[in-house]
Structure 1
Amino acid sequence: PWTLLAFSAVFVALAAAMFGFYELQLPAFLRDRLARNSPQGGSLAGAAGMGVLSAVLVGPCMTAPLAGTLLYIAQGGSAGEGGLLLLALGLGMGVPLVVISTLGARWLPRPGAWMNRVKAAFGFVLLGTAIWMAGRVIAPQATLLLWGVLLVALALSLWHLAHGNAAGESGPAGRLAVRSSAALAGLWGAAMVLGAAAGASDPAQPLRALVATSAAATPAQAPFETLQDPALLQARLAAAAARGQPAVVEFSADWCTSCRTIEREVFGDPRVGQALEGVVLLRADVTRSDAAQRAFMQQHQVMGPPTLMLFGPQGQERRAQRLVGEFAPDALLERLRMEGGAS
């Protein structure tokens, strides 16, 4: 949790720089040294130097998309589809750079006041990223409150933009669009703040907690037994196999936001609850990620949460039915029907 909060603080600091509270730049002696020793364009050495620098800067940014693509390819098992996906990923990275480098001077607008507005927009994006990361470890109500405050601040900025000097450049249609966006963001942000104060946590339904609903309207989630000890989990699976019961194992963690979504939208679905009747439901909590948990995940070739494993009545996992990442209730119901037909 402290790591995620530290990264959130870094994004807040970067957002403050985008809003003009201070300037982020290298010390003067480093700037002078880089200016003297920087590779010059127009030569093979200069192009190679810029390529190395670009790879260093872009490499960390591409780690998450590349890892997700490789994970999808590994789950699919198709070499042809995997090659096409990697080709598409490479083209998506390279084509924009080629287009901008060849036609950028002709298409890109000249520097001006619009650059400050772009910086402010990136500032709000960075703040949203900080809230998204902190939302993994802080209370859902606090996360909703932060999103509401961010939307209210965005609405005030848009309203100021609509009444500033830039409003005349956009014309009547542009001013109407900016004012409408400001009103919508302000109203929804205020609703989020009120909903958070009332105990709500869903950004899509911030005022749900203020509406009186019956207890029957809230679907009950399927009853999972949460275990942190892999040995105990293995014992539960062995006991289920001895009784001839199928079992479901969900790998989860406190920081896994996708796991919370699955618990709410999938296991809270009445159809899923009915289909899981008579099935042993186990939740492997790998928040600690200690040596025993990592060994258990490596033994079963689990990359991390969220992962759902389906075991037959004989205690063997149906590997083809495994679900990795977020999934819809229908995807699980289809696999449960296939599991029922196979058993």
Structure 2
Amino acid sequence: MAVITVVCPTAALAAGTAAAADPFAGQSFWWVLVLVFAGGLGLNLTPCVYPLIPITISYFGGRSSSRGGLIADALAYWLGMAIMYAALGSLVALGGAFLGQALSHPAVILFLAAVLLFMAASMFGLWELRLPASLNRLASSNRTGVLGALIMGLTLGLLAAPCVGPFVVGLMAHVAKEASVGYGLLVFFVLAAGLGLPLAVLAAFSGSIQSLPGAGEWMIWVRKFFGLVLIIMAVNIAEPLLGAGLARWLMILVGLVGGIYLGFMEKSGKGAFVKFKHVAGIVILATAAAFWWFWAPGGGGQDKTAWVHFSPQVLEEAKASNKPVVVFFTADWCNPCKQLKSETLPRPEVQELLKHFVPVKADVTKAPGPEAQSFMRQYRVRGVPTMIFMDGRGQEITESRVVGFLPPNRFLPLIKMAVARTSTASGK
């Protein structure tokens, strides 16, 4: 069975997807671990995990171990993945603030989109992608035993570790506040354990899966469905280069064509499975139509805020004049930044509230200067877009920090709170 090497696309825009500075603020230790584990389980719904399914089945399916031995091997496989994810996730967290800048460069976005299209073509049977020969030799040399399964888990953890990117970014602020390497390692280990659990279960029962009658027929259709998902993901990843309008129309078109093909033209399967394909095709078409109805882009607005270029002098002058400041970190390659500028900032009520602040913009499209880097380290700015509100004394209003794209209905309460705090601080 062919297996696929993959780089998860979601990491490319990881720094722009966090919804708040610390999504786990105020939660108990055990509840944080539960939420993180659930998040790891949720990662199994992302396309970057799909290629691990045939890898797992092909590796464990041919084993002749007893049921107890196979379960032990599956647990070792799970542990290996968790160890690798925890180690690499911690390194990413320590690496930090410029993850979005490094992974969202146009050349990287183009490369990731091309990789996804290449994999999608493989899913449709145009060619086969396999693990590098060196990794195949490593796997075959440790084909039996717990040690071999552990090494295989470590290997796949290395190949698929970028899948944790968005969650790593979301956890950065929380872990940074705890200031404990041990706590950070534990959080990332639990995240990886959640991600690896379904794959470990799949490993334990891979022999039974391979023996299902007619598995080859319906799995051909499933592979093509994953191929359709990968094409849509490629268009989504390329949105910063294509523009929001073109990207969304392309996703709608791909969904419509894919629904017709998978539901009514694809030839694999027979009997009841043919009826299932028809239903699935209708669902895909309905989803594409709903996406068109609710999400087809409009013209968008224009941010008319008179932003001032970032510099320490601007901040010092505002502080000396007891004027509140909003500092907006953005970049041309950042798609959530574009959404914030076109959908949220142009709103009249937002524009009116922004007049209470000295608007300062830090553009990190190429690279932040040393002064901006120092500010980002001091205020733990982990990516773009980030918007920091400061009162007239130069103190951040932490409750109002904006990280990632927020629609107007979620942005307005934060900026209203900032205005209220600045008015209180100035004695108005």
Q: What residue is the counterpart of 1:116 in the other structure?
A: 220
Q: CA deviation at 1:253?
A: 0.6
Secondary structure of the residue aligned to 1:150 is: helix
Q: How many residues align?
A: 314
Secondary structure of the residue aligned to 1:249 is: strand
Matched, 1:262 2:340: yes
Distance in structure 2 (CA, Å) of the matches to 1:32 and 1:244: 61
Worse-superposed segment, 323-332 or 130-139:
323-332
Matched, 1:331 2:414: yes
Distance 1:58 1:22, change over 3 A: closer
Match of 1:284 among 348, 362, 373: 362
Q: CA deviation at 1:46?
A: 2.5
Q: TM-score, normalising length from structure 2?
A: 0.62
Q: Check conservation: 2:120, 2:230, Cα contact below 8 A.
A: yes
Q: CA deviation at 1:252?
A: 0.5
Q: TM-score, normalising length from structure 1?
A: 0.75
Q: What residue is the counterpart of 1:158 in the other structure?
A: 262
Q: What residue is the counterpart of 2:384 in the other structure?
A: 305
Q: What residue is the counterpart of 1:204 in the other structure?
A: 295
Q: What residue is the counterpart of 1:131 in the other structure?
A: 235
Q: What residue is the counterpart of 2:48 in the other structure?
A: none
Distance in structure 2 (CA, Å) of the matches to 1:83 and 1:25: 32
- The correspondence of residues 1-343 of structure 1 with structure 2, limited to 5 A, is 1-25=106-130, 30=133, 34=137, 38-41=141-144, 43-74=145-176, 86=188, 88-106=190-208, 109-110=212-213, 111-161=215-265, 164=267, 166=269, 168-170=271-273, 174=276, 177-184=279-286, 187=289, 204-206=295-297, 208=298, 221=303, 223-225=305-307, 227=309, 230=310, 233-292=311-370, 293-319=372-398, 321-327=400-406, 328-329=410-411, 330-343=413-426
Which sections of structure 2, spanning at least 5 residues, go unmatched? 1-105
Distance in structure 2 (CA, Å) of the matches to 1:150 and 1:279: 44
Q: Which amino acid aligns with 1:205?
A: A
Distance 1:67 1:176, change over 3 A: same
Distance in structure 1 (CA, Å) of the matches to 2:122 and 2:402: 41
Worse-superposed segment, 257-266 or 6-15:
257-266
Q: Which amino acid aligns with 2:271?
A: G
User: Highest CA radius of gyration, 1 or 2?
Assistant: 1
Q: Check conservation: 1:167, 1:175, Cα contact below 8 A.
A: no
Which sections of structure 1, spanning at least 5 residues, go unmatched? 193-202, 210-217
Q: CA deviation at 1:251?
A: 0.4
Q: Check conservation: 2:221, 2:262, Cα contact below 8 A.
A: no
Distance in structure 1 (CA, Å) of the matches to 2:295 and 2:418: 29
Identity of aligned residues (%): 26
Distance in structure 2 (CA, Å) of the matches to 1:184 and 1:296: 47
Distance in structure 1 (CA, Å) of the matches to 2:139 and 2:374: 51
Q: CA deviation at 1:16?
A: 1.1
Distance in structure 1 (CA, Å) of the matches to 2:181 and 2:375: 28
Q: Which amino acid aligns with 1:254?
A: D
Deviations 1:305-338 (A, max 9, x none): 1211112123333345433333422233334333
Secondary structure of the residue aligned to 1:112 is: helix
Give the aligned CA root-mean-square deviation in angstroms: 3.7
